[in-house]
Structure 1
Amino acid sequence: MGSCLSAESRSPRPGSPSSPHRANMKRRNSRKRLGSRNSSFDYRKDEPLHRIPGRLFLNGSSDVASLFTQQGKKGTNQDAMIVWENFGSRADTVFCGVFDGHGPYGHMVAKRVRDHLPLKLSAHWDVNKSSEDVLREINLNTAGSMNSEDTAFLTADEESRASVDLDETEKHPEIFKTLKESFLKAFKIMDRDLRMHANMDCFCSGTTAVTLVKQGPYVVIGNVGDSRAVLGTRDKDDSLIAVQLTVDLKPNLPAEEERIRKYKGRVFALKDEPEVARVWLPNSDSPGLAMARAFGDFCLKDFGLISVPEISFRHLSEKDEFIILASDGIWDVLSNKEVVDIVASCRTRSSAARVLVETAVRAWRYKYPTSKVDDCAVVCLFFDSISNNLSTTASANAKVQPVSVDQIENESEKVNNINVLTSVDLSGTVGCGKVVPGGTEDLDIDIDVESSKEEEMNSEIGTDWSALEGVSRVNTLLNLPRFDPGK
């Protein structure tokens, strides 16, 4: 339920490793060293993203997917999502992703990763480097001192190379080997770009990322953090079941905790929330990150936090019906089976993501009446689009409105003008507070800034009554109170 706590000031002391002066010098030097090498992967950065056919990132639906996000009660919506059909101009290929930001600027980090990670992945897929070239380039980049992120990436790449050479060549098609290498490299470059970004403070802010590429019957998933992917499929008795495709990469996992402790980071839970393990600096009770891997959060990257994705593969069968990607705002209150049943019970596929989010919000209010509802983001990807039951009317109501790159980039530029307000929040979720004996004083971050045009477009005009009817049905299924659209 929680993501980040902190006792540290967000304004570092002059001369400290994170001070603006040294950080800017580091960025300039890094750009000089890396500029020529990265240029081949940045050739699309000025491409108008809103003009790319099949790219959806606002509430809506297409022939193969439904997506919806809703702001919680903690301030700015820090979740982002994307569905990109004909990904990389490849037929029968779709990219999907859900990104859950945390920290004072998590909403900006999540949106930047949403916009730039797919481009980097596509570019590396185009180049189709061999794993030896990837490892050689990483070794060049990490000459000299290496932090835990660098070492973990090398280890992950070596392990993936060995597994591909020994086992996966026989078990999996060539697309898995190629995409595995592309995912590893794209995630590495994305995190490095966030570190060098001049107008975005990622020192105590970051994002999760659960992403997938589907081409034909093949699905490759890259996951960082505690967002999740779940498959809805049929068993031998033709009963609908849920299959979790990713692992929630939290600090209490033995392998994750071992790595964090190896690099002097600390892992423990607060007395007020003993079920939530968090990552802390060696000598300071901050920032209290509730995940073991994430983009950004550079205050912890020398102490065991990494952005290396876990890569998984699935060859779809005729029994597989859909995949759901969602932020932890969904999984904190609904089980895998409940989520799959909700999506399957929707009258129209175009309303599936919305019904799921609305149901999760109701479940939050019912199960945790004293806690603030978390942000929720959902992408539902359906496989048999030819026989789909999409509602033409619902699809029309969910038309995606174009957003320019300027609007996206201008949002990042607002960081210097943001007034950060604090209010007491005992929910143990995103915030920057301080640990006190016997508990935590968690401060919820509210961004006092005029609503952006993109957020305005996220609020659809009118009411999708088919979605509301679906919410009522699943509320009955989950024994939740009767759905009241007025609340």
Structure 2
Amino acid sequence: MGACVSTSSKSTCSSGSNGGEAAPPSCLGTVFRGQKRTRRTFFDHVVTLQNLSSVPNRIFTNGKSRTSCIFTQQGRKGINQDAMIVWEDFLPEDVTFCGVFDGHGPHGHLVARKVRDALPTKLLSFLHSCESRQNGSGQTCFKPNPRKPDIGDAEKDISAEDTLNSTWREAFMKSYKAMDKELRSHPNLDCFCSGSTAVTIVRQGSNLFMGYIGDSRAIMGSKDSNDSMVAIQLTVDLKPDLPREAERIKKCKGRVFALQDEPEVPRVWLPFDDAPGLAMARAFGDFCLKDYGVISIPEFSHRTLTDRDQFIVLASDGVWDVLSNEEVVEIVSTAPSRASAARILVDSAAREWKLKYPTSKMDDCAVVCLFLDGKMDSESDYEEQGFSSATLQSNHSGNAVESDDGTKSEPCLQRNYTVRSSEESNNYSRLATDVDETGEAVAAEDQCWSGLEGVTRVNSLVQLPRFSEERPEPDP
């Protein structure tokens, strides 16, 4: 079983409140040791992993919530290694957490599920720490100041916005670091040659905060001045050939190159062995490469949402390998119902795999669609699309039955040689991510980011390394 998140609280759950204040949305109030509580705070519903099953408005299997729909489908490589989550009422002040996690390696499915469960609670824990630090200052570091018209105090408003942005950045950085540290020391989960990507977003009112590693992607559907739907890419696919990523890896003695049979798929290799061939520059786990340039430090960004922004799509690379950003926005915006959008998108990706690459094995696909106006279809519309309760609990997608004991059959690393043509790949823009010499992600607001389009491949790893604990020194 997974280890618990370390917090400074004990969780209790009651069925309701009797004449006092209303219970927090998760019905999991906390009592902090050594503190005398007179009111419930923003973080009364910080929970441990054992309590997750009782948290309302948190979905992680095929279905819908008040504002979202999610769907995953197993590919043809073995067990589904993708995981996803939507957690509404993540914080009481109109905050929603969404994430997609794409595992790879022999135990990638377990890593992805572990990150899905533990990362959000770590984020809550670090935000609670911020609240505790600010308790005596009269400030609230995680809550934007309400608008105060006609007070002529723009500088203070900017300062408050900067504080909010800085707080979320710190929380993302610390929670990602703590997540990777927990995976390294996990007693029952071998992450040496297994890992997971992560693309996570927090929507707080009109603020959108994003943290991500690996090559899962987030995009947004928005209306332009002509009321036409356009695709806006929100994250960058962190591939090994991005200049800053490649530079960091090479400084750490790692190697970056593509195989002859897949020239458009750059991979990360050990300095002394042609393994494991990781097709991304950042990931949770993959500790065989952590000394050689692969990091788990997330890229962080903030965006202010407008009325023109319609929805956000998070998806694993099984979708992006065969569908463009524009195609995804078109599919979601024209879906018969919002509740069916994620399922239809996955079905479209599956068809494209068969059409474009009929001899290759389809990758796992996972999709989260978050509708920014907070509206979903009526229940009748939902049922008309075939989403009965029995369907939502079915196991045809390969993710409804979950276990951390590794008893399921593990995916093989058998190679399949499907890549895009050189002509297609030359059309893709390549832009580096900013990382300073210590590996810390730095802001890049002054740059116009454009991410790599996905390059089709079947396995994120080529083969497992062959060496003992005493590793040979690379040749001079």
TM-score by length of 1: 0.69
Contact 2:249–2:294 under 8 Å retained in 1 = yes
Cα pair distance change 1:282/1:358, threshold 3 Å: same
Q: Which amino acid aligns with 2:242?
A: L
1:359 to 331, 348, 373: 348
1:429 to 458, 461, 466: 458
Contact 1:95–1:213 under 8 Å retained in 2 = yes
- How many Å apart are 1:426 and its aligned residue? 3.8
Q: Which amino acid aligns with 1:179?
A: W
1:108 to 78, 93, 110: 110
Contact 2:238–2:281 under 8 Å retained in 1 = yes
- How many Å apart are 1:175 and its aligned residue? 2.6
Contact 2:249–2:255 under 8 Å retained in 1 = yes
1:252 counterpart = 2:241: yes
After superposition, where does 1:107-186 map in structure 2 within 5 Å? 107-128=109-130, 170=159, 172-186=161-175
Per the alignment, residue 40 of structure 1 pairs with: 8
Cα pair distance change 1:304/1:421, threshold 3 Å: closer
Contact 1:244–1:336 under 8 Å retained in 2 = yes
Cα pair distance change 1:421/1:188, threshold 3 Å: closer
Per the alignment, residue 206 of structure 2 pairs with: 217
- How many Å apart are 1:433 and its aligned residue? 3.4
Q: Which amino acid aligns with 1:397?
A: S
- How many Å apart are 1:418 and its aligned residue? 5.6
Per the alignment, residue 24 of structure 2 pairs with: none
Per the alignment, residue 235 of structure 1 pairs with: 224
CA distance in structure 1 between the partners assigned to 2:382 and 2:415 by the alignment: 45
CA distance in structure 1 between the partners assigned to 2:131 and 2:66 by the alignment: 33
Question: Which deviates further from its counterpart, 43-52 or 247-256?
Answer: 43-52
Residue 275 of structure 1 aligns to a residue whose secondary structure is: coil
Q: Deviation string for 1:68-96 (max 9, x for gaps)?
A: 000000111000000000004x2311100
Per the alignment, residue 327 of structure 2 pairs with: 338
Cα pair distance change 1:315/1:364, threshold 3 Å: same
* Higher helix proportion: 1
- How many Å apart are 1:40 and its aligned residue? 3.0
Contact 2:105–2:411 under 8 Å retained in 1 = no
Residue 107 of structure 1 aligns to a residue whose secondary structure is: helix
1:413 counterpart = 2:387: no
- How many Å apart are 1:129 and its aligned residue? 7.0
Per the alignment, residue 450 of structure 2 pairs with: none
Q: Deviation string for 1:266-291 (max 9, x for gaps)?
A: 00000111111000001110000000
1:80 counterpart = 2:72: no
Q: Deviation string for 1:287-308 (max 9, x for gaps)?
A: 0000000000000000000000
Q: Deviation string for 1:414-441 (max 9, x for gaps)?
A: 35x8677675644453255389xxxxxx
Q: Which amino acid aligns with 1:113?
A: V
Structure showing greater relative contact order (alpha-carbon pairs closer than 8 Å, 6 or more residues apart): 1
- How many Å apart are 1:239 and its aligned residue? 1.1
Q: Deviation string for 1:311-359 (max 9, x for gaps)?
A: 0111110000000000000000000000000000001000000000000
Gaps of at least 5 residues in structure 2 are 12-46, 134-154, 419-456, 466-476
CA distance in structure 2 between the partners assigned to 1:189 and 1:297 by the alignment: 15
CA distance in structure 2 between the partners assigned to 1:432 and 1:300 by the alignment: 14
Residue 221 of structure 2 aligns to a residue whose secondary structure is: strand
- How many Å apart are 1:387 and its aligned residue? 7.3
Per the alignment, residue 64 of structure 1 pairs with: 67
Q: Which amino acid aligns with 1:47?
A: Q
Per the alignment, residue 12 of structure 1 pairs with: none
Please tell me the root mean square deviation across aligned C-alpha atoms, in Å.
3.1
2:310 to 308, 321, 324: 321
Q: Which amino acid aligns with 1:77?
A: N
- How many Å apart are 1:173 and its aligned residue? 4.8
- How many Å apart are 1:170 and its aligned residue? 4.8
Gaps of at least 5 residues in structure 1 are 1-30, 132-165, 436-487
CA distance in structure 1 between the partners assigned to 2:71 and 2:376 by the alignment: 22
Cα pair distance change 1:311/1:42, threshold 3 Å: farther
Q: Which amino acid aligns with 2:230?
A: I
Q: Which amino acid aligns with 2:101?
A: F
Cα pair distance change 1:193/1:169, threshold 3 Å: farther
CA distance in structure 1 between the partners assigned to 2:225 and 2:107 by the alignment: 47
Contact 2:62–2:71 under 8 Å retained in 1 = yes
TM-score by length of 2: 0.70
Contact 2:68–2:376 under 8 Å retained in 1 = no
CA distance in structure 1 between the partners assigned to 2:262 and 2:10 by the alignment: 43
- How many Å apart are 1:50 and its aligned residue? 1.7
